[in-house]
Chains A and B, each alone.
Chain A
Amino acid sequence: MIDHEKFLSETLRDIKPSGIRKFFDLLADMGDVTALTVGQPDFVTPWHIREAAIDSLERGHTYYTSNSGLPELRGEVCKYMKRRFELDYSADEVLITVGGSEAIDVAIRALTNPGDEVIIPMPSFVCYEPIARMAGAVPVIINTKEENGFKLTAEELSAAITERTKLLVLPYPNNPTGAILEKSELQALAAVIRDRDIAILSDEIYAELTYGKRHVSIASIDGMRERTVIASGFSKAYAMTGWRLGYLCGPSVWLKQMTKLHQYAIMCAPTMSQFAAVEALKNGDGDIAEMTAEYDRRRTVIYEGLQEIGLPVMMPEGAFYIYPYIGGFGLTSEEFCERLLKEEKCAIVPGTAFGECGEGYARISYAYSVRHIEEALEKIKRFVEKIK
């Protein structure tokens, strides 16, 4: 019998598995629970978008597309970036990827050398740190603070920058906190990096899901476009998670190298998904408006419900998560969530899933019907009254 372990990449082996595996295993064993855990829309992809994929299959478009994606799709991405966010990109500055996840992976690997430091604000989505580590880069974590609305501040950024800093990840609108960065806040960050050789990976997958305020991209701030690569995709905006389709927009010299990486690892994003995405970008603005209005309604229901229960919480301004403080009961986040699950059959995600700084918090997804959210709120309320 050979020792399978010793064949594995040491870097990979040293990457910690997701800290909440145990919680999810427990959840899977529980059967019928009221869950507010998932990170994807509950809406089915709008029919006209699904139909476009079916149509492409009927017409026999079952081949690879070009590595960088259908020219028509890249063209539509450019129009979309202009229309929605006032950003100018040309087709050679766009790469179609397998979801926002691949976009992030490709961008980090293409922009770092071993030993380069990658600044990652946390709490945030779980993938940046392991991907940076796989690239041999050194993650530098900034724990954002609730008193700043979980927004990365210019002071925090300045303090984290060293000679080795190569890349800043900007995960806004933020999963799990729902924080967004407004123009003035982006300008303050821009002032810190303007005269330095630091690139920005702006993860804008939730760009369409902001409430009351339109998303502003760091790339639209003076001097930032030339150093920014935007990772985004169709999953959240158009309820297309299962289609696995995203994209990168950035300087063509970078995109050319990123395309090389994508070409060797992936070939091209799924063809039928790309045809669906063309339809989404051409005729999907109305779908976004409808879905956003619905999330907005749920946001209010969950926010007011949590306030009524007495959990300190910030009104989220983007994505579809809310991030209450649950640390006031002498329980760790994981203990709180485990007991809530066992005792009330209600599931929310411990904040520690999004970094150590998530201790004391929980992420609640409101990508669920209002009825479902209200049912969960009743359970949380009962539980909190019992333990306080």
Chain B
Amino acid sequence: MEKLLNLLAKDATLTPKELSLMLQKEEGDIKNMIRQLEKEGVILGYQAVIDWDKTDKETVTALIEVKVMPQRDDGFDKIAQKLQNYPEIKSLYLMSGGFDFTVLIEGRTMKEVAYFVARKLAPIEYVTATATHFVLKTYKYNGVVYNMPTRDLRENDQI
């Protein structure tokens, strides 16, 4: 099970047939395992890693430190529930240390991100402070290194 998840986490395009060969299991069993993992919410989605800088799409990403006042009974979960609904928020983590939430936001422009923080995020009840850090350049995301040479560096004249 863990092996299957590790393989898919690295390359979600692996077909059940390929996985069956790599894991020495029946193709049907692999299909069932994946279906079950999806049903149980262990596998939540499949995405491509895209270097948007190589496209025409303008995006900026910001990491925002958010401090909040935890609520009685619900602690941080209630606030997280509210935050996670904003489509602008791409990732959300509860943190230990000097602040409470790390929020990753994607917008088209810095202005758009600033607007979201000032008009939507900061005014949320219980949010006491925010600090916004803009991402200048992505070097690595989710285990994938950006700007690796795509050309085959191997010489063709040897056997």
Contact = CB atoms under 8 A, between A and B. Distances in A.
Interface of A: 18, 20, 24, 27-28, 35, 37-40, 42, 126, 293, 296-297, 300-301, 347, 349, 353-354, 363, 370
A337 to B, nearest CB: 12
Interface stretch (B53-61, B68-76, B118-126, B151-159): B151-159
Contact of A300 (B18, B154, B159): B18
B131 interface: no
Nearest to B6: A290
Nearest to A294: B22
B18 A24 contact: no
B22 A293 contact: yes
B21 interface: yes
B154 A40 contact: yes
B121 to A, nearest CB: 38
Interface string B138-159: 0000000000000010111111
B21 to A, nearest CB: 5
23 contacts: A18-B159, A24-B156, A35-B152, A35-B156, A37-B156, A37-B159, A38-B156, A38-B158, A39-B158, A39-B159, A40-B158, A42-B152, A42-B154, A126-B159, A296-B21, A297-B14, A297-B18, A297-B22, A300-B21, A301-B18, A347-B156, A349-B159, A363-B159
Given A37-B159, A297-B21, 10 more contacts: A18-B159, A42-B154, A126-B159, A293-B22, A296-B21, A297-B18, A301-B18, A349-B159, A353-B159, A363-B159
Nearest to A354: B159
B152 A24 contact: no
A353 B159 CA distance: 9
A301 B21 CA distance: 10
Contacts of A42: 152, 154
Interface residues of B, number: 11
B140 to A, nearest CB: 12
Contacts of B158: 38-40
Interface of B: 14, 18, 21-22, 152, 154-159
A42 B149 CA distance: 12
Contact of B157 (A27, A293, A296): A27
A206 B150 CA distance: 27
A341 to B, nearest CB: 11
Contacts of A297: 14, 18, 21-22
Contacts of A347: 156
A42 B156 CA distance: 12
Nearest to B157: A24
B60 to A, nearest CB: 30
A354 B158 CA distance: 12
B78 to A, nearest CB: 42
A126 B159 CA distance: 8
A37 B18 CA distance: 23
B9 to A, nearest CB: 13
B157 A28 contact: yes
B102 to A, nearest CB: 27
Of B18, B152, B155, B159, chain A has the most CB atoms within 10 Å of the CB of B159
Contacts of B154: 38, 40, 42
A76 B14 CA distance: 36
A296 B18 CA distance: 9
Nearest to A33: B156
Contacts of B18: 297, 300-301, 370
A31 B103 CA distance: 47
A39 B159 CA distance: 5
A28 B152 contact: no
A340 B158 CA distance: 19
B33 to A, nearest CB: 17
